Structure 1
Amino acid sequence: MASEITYAEVRFKNGSKSSGTTSDSAAAPKERTTPRRSNPGFPRLLCASLLTLLLLLAVSFCLAFIVFFQKCSQLLEEKNTTKEPIHTTLECVKKNLTVAEKVWSCCPKNWKLFSSKCYFISTESKSWNESQKNCSRMEAHLLVINTKEEQDFITQNLNKSFAYFVGLSDPEGQRHWQWVDQTPYNKSVTFWHPNEPNNPNERCVMLNFHYSSWGWNDAGCDLPQMSVCEMTTISL
């Protein structure tokens, strides 16, 4: 009878690797590393941040400019309100008033005083608009005649060889006469020469000596003439 051979399976557990093709089952598995992808939203976030910054800078610049402009306007206004007076030399007459009231009525030097007004007779020939601007620079306006006494006083001081613009005009050419100081035009207190005004195209008024007397005449506004300026007296 043939003898039987029994094989026993023997396993060895140790730290060394076997020389076979199979790796030790106890060995730790290797970690798999995956490549990191860049965030696609980052450039958009950066652009949005830059745009926001530029917008804030633009708003700040606008606010700074507005503040600067307001400061300049304020300084200019203060300068205008504190400017030195144009008329540095005055000629005054005493009025019969109580001690508590101002007793001196004054006009700039070389101006003429009548009632409560001062008058300056220009010796330069200018258009009506330029004459009015010249009066405005002296803090006055072209002559406004309200009474016959005022008309007579003015004409006594004028040269008969010249004509003088006054502050009466017809801007629309519709014979709607207007005074430069907004005094209502009163037909009952007018001093037109006979048959005047006679030309709708002549929209300004001058004083001249004609028909042996002084009177008003409509005239072209661009025709250079002398003029008379008027201002309220200065009380001291």
Structure 2
Amino acid sequence: LTESFWQVWTCCPMGWKHFQSSCYYFSRDIMNWGDSETNCTGMGSHLVVINRGNEQDFIFNWTKKTLTFISDESYYIGLTDQAEEGQWHWVDQTPYNETAAFWRQNEPSNGNMENCAVMHIETKANRKNWNDIPCSTKVYRICETAATSF
């Protein structure tokens, strides 16, 4: 048998979207940040950790396609500075890399109690669409888990 015969198949849970080696769940109900992370961990995942431009583009394009009649929507991602203001941390302990961040202009504003990050989607949005908001705000969420390989 030649080496090209062998393929690795990957799959995701039903209702999740596959991209590269990860699976993504885009919620259609809203929760605060803490409940969003608990919901993701309850499904064996975590709030999404975005560390590559092509991953940001995939998520941005998917959420933009699913915009409803509402002109804009926000989705929690797994980035927070709750522990120390201005010190952003990913939920899976991936090091925060400022050069691989996609903040909107003048964000993060580090406004009063704005300690959780969202991806803000609007019809005219561009790929730099992260915003910091209060963690108590109820918005959609994106969960991420590794795709199963076999």
TM-score > 0.5, shorter chain as reference: yes
- Indicate the SS of the match to 1:213: coil
Verify the 8 A CA contact 1:168 1:178 in the aligned structure 2.
Answer: yes
- The equivalent position to 1:230 in structure 2, one of 126, 144, 149, is 144
1:221 is aligned, of 117, 135, 139, to: 135
> Could you tell me how far apart the structure 1 residues matched to 2:78 and 2:26 are?
13
Match of 2:75 in 1: 164
Identity of aligned residues (%): 39
Structure whose CA Rg is larger:
1
Structure showing the higher strand proportion among its residues: 2
- Candidates 188, 202, 206, aligned match of 2:114: 202
Q: How much is the aligned-residue C-alpha RMSD, in angstroms?
A: 1.8
- Amino acid aligned to 1:184: P
Q: Aligned in 2, Cα 1:97/1:110: closer, same or farther, shift over 3 Å?
A: farther
- 8 Å Cα contact 1:173/1:200 also seen in 2: no
Give the deviation of 1:212 after TM superposition. Answer: 3.1
- AA paired with 1:231? T
TM-score w.r.t. length of structure 2:
0.86
Contact 1:205 1:216 in 2 (8 A): yes
Tell me whether 1:190 sits opposite 2:101 in the alignment. Answer: yes
Mark the CA change 1:164 to 1:153 in structure 2 (over 3 Å): closer, same or farther: same
Structure 1 unaligned regions, length at least 5:
1-95
Deviations 1:18-74 (A, max 9, x none): xxxxxxxxxxxxxxxxxxxxxxxxxxxxxxxxxxxxxxxxxxxxxxxxxxxxxxxxx
CA–CA distance in structure 2, aligned partners of residues 225 and 209 of structure 1: 12
- Supply the AA of the counterpart residue of 2:93: Q
Structure 1 distance, partners of 2:74, 2:34, is 16
Q: Distance in 1 between matches of 2:4 and 2:37?
A: 34
Q: Is the 8 A contact 1:125 1:227 kept in 2?
A: yes
User: What's the CA shift for 1:157?
Assistant: 1.2
Find the residue that maps to 1:162 and give its secondary structure.
strand
State the alpha-carbon separation in 1 of the partners of residues 4 and 141 from structure 2: 33
Residue identity matched to 2:126? S
Number of residues of Structure 1 aligned to a counterpart in Structure 2? 139
Is 1:207–1:216's contact at 8 Å kept on the other side of the alignment?
yes
The 1-side partners of 2:81 and 2:5 are apart by 43
Distance across 1 between alignment mates of 2:4 and 2:148 = 15
Deviates more, 1:128-137 or 1:200-209: 200-209
Shift of 1:97: 6.0
Give, in whole Å, the separation in 1 of the partners of 2:126 and 2:81: 24
Instruction: Give the number of the structure whose residues are more often helix, by fraction.
Output: 1
Quick one: which of 126, 138, 151 aligns to 2:56? 151
Could you tell me which residue of structure 1 aligns to residue 42 of structure 2?
Answer: 137
Match of 1:109 in 2: 14
TM-score by length of 1: 0.56
